[in-house]
Structure 1
Amino acid sequence: MKLFATSNGYDGKTTYYATGWIAIVLVICCLVAALLVGCPSYNVWQQEMAGKAEFAKAEQNRRIRIEEAKANLEAEKLNAQAEIERAKGAAEAIRIENGSITPTYIQYLWVRQQNNVPSKVIYIPTEANLPILEAK
């Protein structure tokens, strides 16, 4: 069956292209039809995968929040323990002093605390609450 016959004009031979072109057109039509049929299924699959990814992300975020809460709880427990130890030390210091804190001892604590102050300028108030600016 000869549908399309062409002559190339050089050697007088006739070449028939009809079956080749029909096969190519049919393959292209089949591919287009397969893609059109597969699109809805692909969209459903893509949305399902996106949902699974979102769920996994939410689960990971929840685990992170739980671990952060556990770390905060542990830090608060350690801070409370440190505060208890500080209070025990202060109570022991007061017990050693026999519960009496004298003005002299308060002055001693003030002088000892001055070593921790970065600035070495000390203002001593006078009777009028004015600092002494120059000592001779």
Structure 2
Amino acid sequence: MSGTAIVGIIILIFVTGFGLLAGCPAYNVYSQEQAGRAALAEAQSSRQIAVLEARARLESAKMLADAEVVRAEGAARANRILQDSLGGPDGYLRYLQIQAIDAKDASIIYVPTEGGLPLLESNRLAPRTSPAP
């Protein structure tokens, strides 16, 4: 290799290196622009996901409310049928009272009288003593 060839190679390397350095700011701008676009696309995607989740929660809440209304209407209809078949509200309340008594595991049950006061049977539970002679 001659001296001019070496100088030519050095100049070529120098020009190529300088060209790469000159292109770095443009690449940095391009890279930042692409990163910004990616961040924007991610933000838009996250927003769409949040909106869809909110819509799903809203629809779920509406359906649960509708189901609760249907259940309450069914319970009211069943209560009305029982009430009518038992002779009105008083008969229905008596029926509910009997159901509550059946559900309890008690040995003594106090039933209210006409005046609303229970009959007390304290004499029945008192220990028996033999009568005095």
Q: TM-score, normalised by structure 1?
A: 0.64
- SS at 1:101 equivalent: helix
**Residues 1:113 and 2:103 aligned together:** yes
Q: 1:70 Cα deviation (Å)?
A: 0.7
Q: 1:66 to 1:123 in 2, by over 3 A?
A: farther
Q: 1:106 Cα deviation (Å)?
A: 4.4
* Aligned position for 2:12: 23
More deviation in 49-58 or 79-88? 49-58
Structure 1 residues not aligned, in runs of 5+: 4-15, 115-119
- SS at 1:90 equivalent: helix
How do 1:1-136 and structure 2 match up within 5 A?
A: 2=3, 17-99=6-88, 100-101=90-91, 105-114=95-104, 122=106, 124=108
* Aligned position for 2:113: none
Q: Output the amino acid matched with 2:57.
A: E
Q: Output the amino acid matched with 2:3.
A: K
Sequence identity (%): 9
Q: Looking at secondary structure, tell me which structure has more strand per residue.
A: 1
Quote the RMSD (CA, aligned, Å): 3.0
Structure 2 residues not aligned, in runs of 5+: 111-119, 126-133
Q: 1:29 Cα deviation (Å)?
A: 1.8
Q: Output the amino acid matched with 1:52.
A: A
Larger RCO: 1 or 2 (CA < 8 Å, sep 6+): 1
Q: 1:123 Cα deviation (Å)?
A: 7.8
Across the two proteins, how many residue pairs are aligned to each other? Answer: 110
Q: 1:2 Cα deviation (Å)?
A: 2.7
Q: Output the amino acid matched with 1:88.
A: R
